[in-house]
A and B are shown apart, each in its own frame.
Chain A
Amino acid sequence: MNYFVKGNPDLCIGCRTCMIGCVVAHEGKHIFEVDPDSYSFNPKLHMVKTARLSVPVQCKHCENPACMAVCPAGAISQKDHCIVIDTDKCMGCKSCMDACPFGAINMTVQTGKFQADGSEKKVANKCDLCYGLPGGPACVRVCPTEALTLVTEEKLGEAMEHKRMEAARNTYRETHPQE
């Protein structure tokens, strides 16, 4: 099973530290110490704030990803419990953006790369669970209210098993009220 990061709207205070953590991890720069023009601020998760809630939304790393199915360039693939985009193969056709039901993919400028007419190259951008980076997803690590969790197959499996046992116990109690 693919892993994914999940936000809890009850704990999230909308501080956007996750977005900054994401950019720092992927840019490999301490962004507050360098020239703002020397890096791209392209977080791979999106803070949603409505009257009811605040929570970041990011890729669910689906098991049958619509984005992967629709990509004409073969730029989206599954690797080590993760759905990743090869930005060198991506041509910015936006098919994945249209296909994703969560709005987890946006198009971002690839710094220093240009099209034939001199305009900036834009490619698909989404959570890669900090693929290849040490320490696991940066957003989870930096969140001050611990509102983000990396959900693994093991954790989800345990939770489901736990819920099934509870359901079985409750049913048993109903049929054996005297015990």
Chain B
Amino acid sequence: MKKEIGSFVVGDSTKCTGCKACEVACFTVHNRKSNHVGNTVGTVTVPVTPRLFLTRFDQGCMPIQCKHCEDAPCLNACSKGAISRIDHQVIVDAEKCIGCKDCMQACPFGAIALLPYAKDGRLVAQPMSEEPKVFASKCDLCAGIEGGPACVRVCPHQALRLVDPEAEREEKNIRAAESLLLTKDWR
């Protein structure tokens, strides 16, 4: 069937141990080409900028990332047109982003952080300021990266799951229909 809505990754706090392998993998795969990040620490010359955020709370921990909303508040809030929907996913254009923080405030999940922007292994400077350029860092579902979301692949406890919402809904429908066979004589 034709895909009509965006997929997303969700974490499972009952499995997550908070090791942050997902954050590191996310940073690595997104910076291989642009910042020459390799498989060892020595190759990292720029700040670590993940697109999902390991979150500790009273009952445990889990990574929080973008749900790729179908009426995305971040996209609607961006005055610069830096957030767009590409192939059903909500994608930030880091070059266009001016760091206005509107998307951060619009997102109800806290799935966006403003992080330093680096290119060619170096932070991008901006005129009239000591501070480097920043960009709205959020999950892009590893668009254009081979093998799909790196966080899902790297998690040692399988605490992350890539959700195809419509396919899962149809599977759940079938289970629900089969359970109606068991309850048909409810009277």
Task: Enumerate chain A interface residues (CB-CB to B < 8 A).
Answer: 6-10, 46, 48, 50, 52-53, 55, 57, 72-73, 90-95, 97-98, 100-107, 110, 113, 115-117, 119, 121-123, 151, 156, 159, 162
B132 contacts the other chain (Cβ, under 8 Å)?
A: no
> Which residues in B have their C-beta under 8 angstroms from that of A113?
71
Shortest C-beta distance, B126 to chain A (Å), equals: 25
Chain B contact residues, majority secondary structure: mixed
Given contacts A72-B108, A73-B108, contact A91 B72 (CB under 8 A): yes
Q: Is the CB of A94 within 8 A of B5?
A: yes
The docked-state distance in angstroms from the alpha carbon of A88 to that of B178 is 34
- Residue of B77, B169, B184 most packed against chain A (CB within 10 A): B169
Quick one: which of B5, B71, B165 contacts A90, CB cutoff 8 A?
A: B71
User: Judging by beta carbons under 8 Å apart, are B177 and A55 in contact?
Assistant: yes
Question: Which residues of chain B come closer than 8 Å to A98, judged between CB atoms?
Answer: 10, 163, 165, 168
Are A48 and B173 interface neighbours, CB within 8 A? yes
CA distance A7 to B178 in the complex (A): 11
Given contacts A94-B165, A102-B175, A116-B76, 5 further A-B contacts (CB under 8 A): A53-B180, A92-B71, A97-B165, A100-B172, A122-B71
B residues near A119, Cβ cutoff 8 Å: 85
The yes or no answer to B81 lying at the interface (CB within 8 A) is yes
The answer to whether A57 and B108 have CB atoms under 8 Å apart is no
Q: Is the CB of A48 within 8 A of B169?
A: no
* Chain B contacts for A100, CB-based, 8 A: 169, 172
With both chains docked as a complex, state the minimum distance between the C-beta of B58 and any C-beta of chain A, in angstroms.
16
**Cβ–Cβ < 8 Å partners of A123 in chain B:** 70-71
Residues in B whose Cβ lies below 8 Å from that of A116: 75-78, 81
Report whether B170 and A103 are in contact in the complex, using a CB–CB cutoff of 8 Å: yes
Question: What's the nearest-Cβ distance from chain B to residue A14, in Å?
Answer: 11
| B69 at interface, CB cutoff 8 A | yes
A164 nearest CB across to chain B (Å): 13
Are the CB atoms of B70 and A8 closer together than 8 Å? no
CB-CB < 8 A to A151: which residues of B?
Answer: 186
Is A117 a contact partner of B75 (Cβ separation < 8 A)? yes
User: How distant is the Cα of A52 from the Cα of B163 in the complex, in angstroms?
Assistant: 27
Looking at the assembled complex, report how far the CB atom of A147 sits from the nearest CB atom of chain B, in whole angstroms.
Answer: 10
Please determine whether A52 and B71 come into contact, CB atoms closer than 8 angstroms: no
**Interface set, chain B 60-81, CB cutoff 8 A to A:** 67-73, 75-78, 81
B4 CB contacts on chain A under 8 angstroms: 107
Least distance between B57 CB and chain A CB atoms (Å): 15
User: Which among B4, B8, B69, B109 has the highest number of chain A CB atoms within 10 Å?
Assistant: B69
In the complex the two chains form, what is the Cα distance from A162 to B171 in whole Å? 34
Across the interface, do A115 and B169 meet the contact criterion of CB distance under 8 Å? no
Q: Is the CB of A115 within 8 A of B76?
A: yes
Find out whether the CB atom of A105 lies under 8 angstroms from the CB atom of B169. Answer: yes
Interface status of B128 (Cβ within 8 A of chain A) = no
A residues in contact with B184, CB < 8 Å: 8-10
Task: Please give me the residue from chain A that is nearest to B66 by CB atom.
Answer: A93
Determine whether the beta carbon of A50 is less than 8 Å from that of B177.
Answer: yes
Check A122 against B174 for contact (C-beta < 8 Å).
no
Q: Is B72 within 8 A of A92, CB to CB?
A: yes
> A52 touching B178 by the CB < 8 A rule?
yes
Docked CA distance A105–B172 (Å)? 10
Whether A95 lies near B67 (C-beta < 8 A) is yes
B41 touches A (CB below 8 Å): no
Across-interface contacts of A90 in B (CB, < 8 A):
71
